[in-house]
Amino acid sequence: MKRYDRILGSLVGAAIGNAMGAPLETRTLDLIKKELGHGELVRDYVDMPYDAINQNIRPGTVSYDFAISYLSLLEFVKEGGITKEASARALLELKNNPKYEVYAARTDTATKVGLDRIEKVKHEWTPYDDLPVDNRYLTSSAAMRSWVCGLWNPGKVEKAIDDAILMSKEAYDNVIALSGAASIAAATAVAMLDGSTLSDIVEAGITGAHKGYEKAMYVARNSAGASVEERIKLAVKIGLKYSCDHERCIREMTDLIGTGINANEAIPSVFGFLVASGGDVMEAICLAVNAGNDSDTTGVMIGAIAGAFKGIKNIPEKHLPLLSSVNDMDIEALAKRLDEIIL
């Protein structure tokens, strides 16, 4: 497969998962089926539900996750590589450019804290500042964009891990968050390589979580919480066990692993769903988004990995033009530019 097809597949897969998952966010599988899927699993872009903070969002609109990934890539292209400064510029551009208000309005708490750190905003002292650990921000906010480090480093697991930490450590100063980010970056890097199998991707995800945690221990704030690595191993077993019954798979995954905002839920479940889907882009996304809770984030991560693995030809044709126009993003041009620039 041409590398361009993998790059474009990853970008489009990530955007689909993010846009499809956004309206399903916070809900459970049962509530999604009942309220958004007319009794079935959701397999397309739907309207925002009645309780959404902003209901005037067109179906197909991506959320913060894809938007920051896209802007980060634009900055990395300009910079000619992945740097801390370019990553910070992307975060600030999304925050301050009114063009991106629809995405910025849905900035998560961990990112707000990270932005304050980058902008050196003084915050009032709280008792948490004295602790040698921080267990509040072990979220997937770093991982939801770290797949771009995998795109940038096809087949180079170590470099993808290092870049994921470099890209995120300033905003997401948390070892568990960075372990998750490294896991997704490593898996995407392997998915980009011709000849990689699903098991290679899963093993890269486990390696990424392990090494990412160890490396992050030197540069980031400590955090107590369940292990991304250990939970990936369990999620993969669950995905395999229920690979012939996808609804049951979603149920068992949400019941035992969870798909919440923390990196030790969303990232493991992504690998479980990847295994259950065999890597098929639309099926993988369907599993992840219908699991609900932090569905736009699981959606963006699984779409990026499966898209790189199977390539753009595995994705129905309608998505690229629809997503590009609804979000006013030239995804194709970005993919071409990346293919030229990536070593």
Residue 342 interacts with another protein (CB under 8 A)? no
Residue 264 interacts with another protein (CB under 8 A)? yes
- 9 neighbors 315 (Cβ within 8 angstroms): yes
Q: Which stretch binds another protein (CB under 8 A): 1-9, 27-35, 116-124, 239-247?
A: 27-35
Give me the helices (H) in the chain, please: 3-21, 29-35, 64-79, 84-96, 101-104, 109-118, 143-152, 157-168, 175-191, 198-219, 228-241, 246-256, 263-277, 281-290, 295-310, 319-327, 331-341
Q: Which of residues 197-236 bind another protein (CB under 8 A)?
A: 222-227, 230-231, 234
Nearest distance from C-beta of residue 60 to another protein, angstroms: 22
Nearest CA to 339 out of 154, 155, 167 is that of 154
Q: Give how far Cα 239 sits from Cα of 227, 234, 269, 270, Å.
A: 18, 9, 9, 10
Q: Give how far Cα 200 sits from Cα of 99, 237, 301, Å.
A: 39, 15, 17
Nearest distance from C-beta of residue 250 to another protein, angstroms: 12
Mapped onto helix, strand or coil, the DSSP state of residue 232 is helix
Residue 141: both structure tokens together: 């906010």
Residue 259 interacts with another protein (CB under 8 A)? yes
Dist CA 265 CA 253 (whole Å): 10
Residue 110 interacts with another protein (CB under 8 A)? no
Binding mask 121-140 for another protein (x = CB under 8 A): ------x--xxxx-x-----
Chosen residue from 17, 60, 212, 258 binding another protein by CB under 8 A: 258
Residue 106 interacts with another protein (CB under 8 A)? no
Nearer to another protein, 83 or 222 (CB): 222
Nearer to another protein, 258 or 299 (CB): 258
Residues found near another protein in the complex (CB under 8 A): 26-28, 31, 49, 51-53, 127, 130-133, 135, 222-227, 230-231, 234, 254-261, 264, 292-293
